Structure 1
Amino acid sequence: MSHPRIFARPVPNTAELTLAEVINRLRRHQDHLDLCRAMRLDTAPAASFEINDPADIDAFGHFLDECLGDDISDATAQTELRLRHRAERFIVARAAAIKTQIEPLRTEDRGAVRGALGRGRFGGVTSRDRMHEILADLHARAPWMAPAATAVMRAMNRATTAGPAPFQAPPMILIGGQGIGKSRWARDIARAFNVPAIDVDIGAANGAVFVLSGTERGWGSATPGRVVRTILMTHIVNPIVIVDEVDKIPNVIGTARGGSLPGAAEVLKSMIEPTTARAWTCPCLQLPVDLTRVSWIMTTNSLGGIPEPLLDRCLVVRIPDPTPDHLRLVAAGKIADMIADPDLRRDLLGMIGGLLDDRQAAGKRTSLRQVMRMIDRIDTALDLVRQN
């Protein structure tokens, strides 16, 4: 699988290469084109040739064409001298692009960007069968989250039609009662598919707008937002961003001088919308970042405060409250992890089950968060007993 872009064009998508490496890459590219011609497949894309190299040959070819202005695929036989001249021109053109676009950055940002060129990779690459196993395991632990798991399964079924594919999910808003484990489920999905999870709390200062977008170059504290920063650190282009309390998202935020700036709603919309996400400009780096492979899972208790343009871009998934049986299942799993003694486990589960029954009989709602709090209290009490 070729290496996906972290930055959109015109930022180069190749790691730094020696002259010999570029010549070798060009020679392989030309050999493939010659093979295609011999097989009467003149229109076959170069990317169909699996070279197992650390850079994307398709992007490499595009960048050559953009920088050098002529077409490597013309039918004229390439001599070694022409390959060498072409490689030299590529190295010069790449250096010029780097100088123009990356040299103005601060030293630490420059190093992160240089280190990411040509090193983008997918997380969560899995087969359809393995994907079904992962989702089945998650369903066994949180069956009330089935509507959200179904949305992921549909997206991954489409993605894995032709074979293993990276994790992806549509932008979705999970709406359900408080404390039922919506955010926890999203983190479990990220962990199960081995992709980074990026937590964004809309209730934070300024509605988390700077957490999402970062701060603009020129400020002393300028820094990329959490999404771009995570991609630069991990080189994984398909993290999951978990946005909590999205119903509190502001359209605008006030400034110290009485003015206003676009709020997190506008920023989030631009990061989700495919046409703008394809080359989303990071305010700090002033470089176009490709966010099209990022998965967005937002949580809310109500749709009331969510702007219509954001709702229109997301799949709304309604999550029911877990039943008492679901809560018993979660409690059994947690207590089994905590306690080895089967008799003590049985007694504690009986106690928790009794509390759940009493609350249900009284018409009281019990959330997953409350059950987890009960178990934490039990754990604390057991620690005190052990210490004494």
Structure 2
Amino acid sequence: MTRVTTTIPFSKIKFIDKIQRLSDLTERLTQKLREIRIDLNHREPHRMADGKAQSIYELITDADTAKIRRRAMRYLERLHASTGTQHLPERDAALLTPLRGGLPVARIVTEHEADEIAAALHAEMPWMAPATEVVWHGLRASARRGLPGLRFDPLVLVGSPGIGKSFWARRLAHHLEVPTTSIDATGEPAAFSLVGAQRGWGSATPGKLMQTALRERHAGPIVIIDEVEKSGNVQSTQGSRHTLTDAVLPLLERMTAETWECPYYQIRVDMSWANWVMTANSRWGLPAPLVSRCIVLDLPDLTGSQLQMFVEAQGKRRGLPRVAIDATSDAVQRATAAGRTPSLRTVSRMLDRVELLAQRHVLQ
């Protein structure tokens, strides 16, 4: 099914299709003043000087021209200022065009719809039941309150590598029909990667959060931050520190997220409909301010039977032949019996390989 959406006023910037050039505006105002004075002269004929009629071009004095130019400049300055993008280069202002008219957010209309989403997700990954339950309650509350979009509490999923924490988040986004953006807290300057860098930094660029909104034309993505407990910080040449926690906290609070300012574009946007799923391998290292704003869930390791259930569900979803599903399940069972229970990541790669082989043509 196609999810119902609501368009929200994502930003207060204005789009003006065409702003006149200063020369065109001054000419227009000059012509208008000339017409007014000609009309007045027709109704009240002016006195001739030295027996000569005054030329229409003499109706506008140098003082008039200077005054017209000053007023035209003030008008254009205020017009540019009203857009909210007057500080941006023309190229960057053009990149904000997708925000014209607002952006959609996915909406949960009924509590039954929330039940169906949770049931489908639980059927795929039943060992992630604690996380699915939190989302389920958030979706039901969104429907019950008639919210224009969907919300659930920010999550930190704590568990061993390879149990499917990030995979679960992507499958959740699939069922909700919303885009995702992912940040690896250990492999990049995570704070800048998420929210962007201000102009003046050598690598100034918009962050993935804003890029996703512009690229997908959607104001309610799921943001996935992997290994959040290992995030470091970036220090500028002036000595200021920029941590991932400092970047995330204003976005986790709904009130501050509604008027969040993009560091790169320096415009305020409504990021309050973004939903957050963070993963960690242990609670050690999790910043206290982050923990206080999220629901932290400790997830158990996967068992062999749970992995076999995953193979069965994913095999059917991918349309794999029964023989391929059984062969993969047997391989998982043998590895588990030998004390080498594979991770969900390994099993997913096995399914990818099996799917590729199943689609390969055989030479006759």
Same-fold call, TM > 0.5? yes
In structure 2, the CA distance between the partners of 1:183 and 1:235, relative to structure 1 (3 Å rule), is: same
What letter matches 2:191 in structure 1?
V
Residue in structure 2 matching 1:102, options 85, 96, 117: 85
- TM-score, length-normalised on structure 2? 0.73
TM-superposition CA deviations, 1:165-191 (whole Å, max 9, x none):
532221110111110110011011111
The correspondence of residues 302-317 of structure 1 with structure 2, limited to 5 A, is 302-317=282-297
In the other structure, the counterpart of 1:350 is: 330
Deviation of 1:333 (Å): 3.3
Query: What percent of counterpart residues are identical?
Result: 30
In the other structure, the counterpart of 2:8 is: 4
In the other structure, the counterpart of 1:210 is: 192
Contact kept in structure 2, 1:128 and 1:163, CA below 8 Å? no
TM-superposition CA deviations, 1:297-333 (whole Å, max 9, x none):
1000112112111111111122222222210011223
Residue in structure 1 matching 2:259, options 271, 279, 283: 279
Q: Secondary structure at the match of 2:263?
A: coil
**Inter-partner Cα distance in structure 2 for 1:230 and 1:343:** 40
**Inter-partner Cα distance in structure 2 for 1:261 and 1:122:** 33
In the other structure, the counterpart of 1:33 is: none
Q: CA RMSD in A?
A: 3.2
Deviation of 1:131 (Å): 2.0
In the other structure, the counterpart of 2:33 is: none
What letter matches 2:172 in structure 1?
I
**Inter-partner Cα distance in structure 1 for 2:217 and 2:193:** 19
After TM superposition, the structure 1 stretch with the greater mean CA deviation from structure 2, 331-340 or 274-283, is 331-340
In the other structure, the counterpart of 1:84 is: none
Q: How many residues end up aligned between the 2 structures?
A: 304
The correspondence of residues 68-79 of structure 1 with structure 2, limited to 5 A, is none
In structure 2, the CA distance between the partners of 1:269 and 1:380, relative to structure 1 (3 Å rule), is: same
What letter matches 2:101 in structure 1?
G
In structure 2, the CA distance between the partners of 1:253 and 1:218, relative to structure 1 (3 Å rule), is: closer
Does residue 191 (structure 1) correspond to residue 174 (structure 2)? The answer is yes
Residue in structure 2 matching 1:329, options 309, 312, 336: 309
Q: Secondary structure at the match of 1:136?
A: helix
Residue in structure 2 matching 1:122, options 105, 122, 129: 105
In structure 2, the CA distance between the partners of 1:104 and 1:303, relative to structure 1 (3 Å rule), is: same
Contact kept in structure 1, 2:158 and 2:297, CA below 8 Å? yes
Residue in structure 2 matching 1:201, options 184, 193, 215: 184
Contact kept in structure 2, 1:215 and 1:223, CA below 8 Å? yes
What letter matches 2:95 in structure 1?
A
After TM superposition, the structure 1 stretch with the greater mean CA deviation from structure 2, 287-296 or 117-126, is 117-126
In structure 2, the CA distance between the partners of 1:92 and 1:293, relative to structure 1 (3 Å rule), is: farther
**Inter-partner Cα distance in structure 1 for 2:349 and 2:263:** 41
In structure 2, the CA distance between the partners of 1:94 and 1:236, relative to structure 1 (3 Å rule), is: farther
In the other structure, the counterpart of 1:88 is: none
Q: Secondary structure at the match of 1:123?
A: strand
In the other structure, the counterpart of 1:367 is: 343
In the other structure, the counterpart of 2:214 is: 232
**Inter-partner Cα distance in structure 2 for 1:358 and 1:273:** 47
4+ runs deviating over 6 angstroms: 91-94, 380-385
What letter matches 2:9 in structure 1?
R
TM-superposition CA deviations, 1:6-36 (whole Å, max 9, x none):
12xxx34x66699xxxxxxxxxxxxxxxxxx
**Inter-partner Cα distance in structure 2 for 1:386 and 1:3:** 50
In the other structure, the counterpart of 2:125 is: 142
In structure 2, the CA distance between the partners of 1:115 and 1:384, relative to structure 1 (3 Å rule), is: closer
In the other structure, the counterpart of 2:59 is: none
What letter matches 2:251 in structure 1?
M
What letter matches 1:209 in structure 2?
A
In the other structure, the counterpart of 2:273 is: 293
Deviation of 1:113 (Å): 2.6
Deviation of 1:336 (Å): 4.4
Deviation of 1:292 (Å): 1.4
TM-superposition CA deviations, 1:246-284 (whole Å, max 9, x none):
00122x3234x4834221121111222334322222111
Contact kept in structure 1, 2:154 and 2:277, CA below 8 Å? yes
Bigger Cα Rg: 2
**Inter-partner Cα distance in structure 2 for 1:211 and 1:275:** 23
What letter matches 1:199 in structure 2?
S
In the other structure, the counterpart of 2:247 is: 267
**Inter-partner Cα distance in structure 2 for 1:163 and 1:210:** 35
Deviation of 1:159 (Å): 1.1
**Inter-partner Cα distance in structure 2 for 1:186 and 1:329:** 18
Deviation of 1:93 (Å): 11
The correspondence of residues 33-44 of structure 1 with structure 2, limited to 5 A, is none
**Inter-partner Cα distance in structure 1 for 2:228 and 2:121:** 24
Q: Secondary structure at the match of 1:369?
A: helix
In structure 2, the CA distance between the partners of 1:163 and 1:353, relative to structure 1 (3 Å rule), is: same
**Inter-partner Cα distance in structure 2 for 1:235 and 1:341:** 37
Contact kept in structure 1, 2:111 and 2:140, CA below 8 Å? yes
What letter matches 2:217 in structure 1?
H
In structure 2, the CA distance between the partners of 1:103 and 1:97, relative to structure 1 (3 Å rule), is: closer
In structure 2, the CA distance between the partners of 1:94 and 1:142, relative to structure 1 (3 Å rule), is: farther
In structure 2, the CA distance between the partners of 1:194 and 1:365, relative to structure 1 (3 Å rule), is: same
**Inter-partner Cα distance in structure 2 for 1:160 and 1:383:** 41
Contact kept in structure 1, 2:304 and 2:341, CA below 8 Å? no
In the other structure, the counterpart of 2:31 is: none
In the other structure, the counterpart of 2:299 is: 319
Gaps of 5+ in 2: 19-74
TM-superposition CA deviations, 1:339-374 (whole Å, max 9, x none):
755345434433432332332xxxx55421232344
